[in-house]
Amino acid sequence: MQLISNIASLRELRRAWQIEGQVIAFVPTMGNLHEGHLNLVREAKKRGTKVVVSIFVNPLQFGENEDLDAYPRTLEQDSKHLEALGVDVVFTPTVAEMYPRGLEQQTFVEVPGISYMICGASRPGHFRGVATIVCKLFNMVQPNIAFFGQKDFQQLQVIRAMVKDLSMNLEIVGVPTMRAEDQLALSSRNGYLTQEERATAPALFANLRDLADKIELGRRDFSVLIAEHRQLLADAGFKPDYIEIRAAETLLHPGHEDQHLVVLGAAYLGKTRLIDNIQVFLNK
Ligand code: AMP
């Protein structure tokens, strides 16, 4: 496994792979890898003849009062996990390598509409930062297939929209969310939770599961359901950010014709913001 931190070396390798006819599978991450990330890598191994994983904590997608500085950086441990899975390249660029002209004047990619709602409303500029870094990484790695977790459902749909809008020549694969035994979605941010908060955390998924069940059983009074489940989340000890029921592809409010929905939730436990979602398939 090669650790590469500059773009020129990555491009050189990519050129050689091109000549060999390799299929490049790519998994972008911010590191501090857990089983959720490693599962994306396993899927990438199944589809690609070469697997590239990037580890880059992207300052452009963090808001001013967010956890950029505190975000866990565990490269040594991450490398061991990736090596064991047979990853070919770990790409770990510096901020200066990624943003040579600084953040202020950086050209950006913005996917309008879908980027402004739900998490985007709570975190202005977040999806612009995500789309920009993912576009840059795609230009560097030039993958044939890239893997993203359904855990960050809105992110996945923003990336899909970007790829479509900008006619990017690659396949995007969404991988189901990996969970702890108590169903808490695995996340690097779970490490911020106190013992007590960690014990409360699975109630977010339980809340969304319950809500999804009600929809599957025929409830269509979505605004009533959302208000009820927001209250239940608060009663469980969270500070709710949002609960939403949306059409899965567009993330718009669903109409009668929409059969593929997604229930999404975000809530704070102390200072830690947790997100989760469940897809709902109607009439099946
Ligand atoms: P991050 O390092 O948080 O930016 O995540 C990198 C990739 O891993 C993203 O595509 C995430 O959606 C994905 N991911 C994070 N947590 C999970 C999880 N529990 N299950 C599946 N994918 C995940």
Point out the residues that are catalytic. 37
Q: Are 262 and 153 in contact (CB under 8 A)?
A: yes
CA of 29 to the centre of ligand 1 (A): 7
Q: From ligand 1's centre to the CA of 78, what distance in Å?
A: 14
Are 7 and 70 found together in one domain? yes
Tens of pLDDT along 18-29?
999 999 999 999
Domain with 66 in it: what CATH number? 3.40.50.620
pLDDT, tens digit, 9 for 90 and up, residues 62-102 = 999 999 999 999 999 999 999 999 999 999 999 999 999 99
In the predicted model, what is the mean pLDDT of the chain? 97
Q: Is residue 180 part of a domain?
A: no
Is 42 buried (19+), middle (13-18) or exposed (0-12) by CB count in 10 A?
Answer: middle
Note whether 212 and 114 are same-domain residues. Answer: no
Ligand 1 near 174 CB (within 6 A): no
Residues 134 and 25 in one domain: yes
The domain total for the chain is 2
Residue 188 CB–ligand 1 contact under 6 Å: yes
Ligand 1 center to 94 CA (angstroms): 21
| Listed residue (174, 166, 165, 167) closest to 145, CA to CA | 174
Looking at the fold, whether 151 and 197 belong to one and the same domain comes out as no
Please report the pLDDT score of residue 283 as a whole number: 81
126 within ligand 1 shell (Cβ under 6 A): no
Total-model pTM: 0.98
Residues 159 and 72 occupy one common structural domain = yes
How many angstroms separate the CA atoms of 41 and 50, rounded?
A: 11
Q: For residues 248 and 63, what is the distance between their CA atoms, to the nearest angstrom?
A: 26
- 152: in domain: yes
**Ligand 1 in reach of 40 Cβ (< 6 A):** yes
Range of the domain at 72: 2-175
Do residues 30 and 154 share a domain? yes
* Same-domain check for residues 146 and 218: no
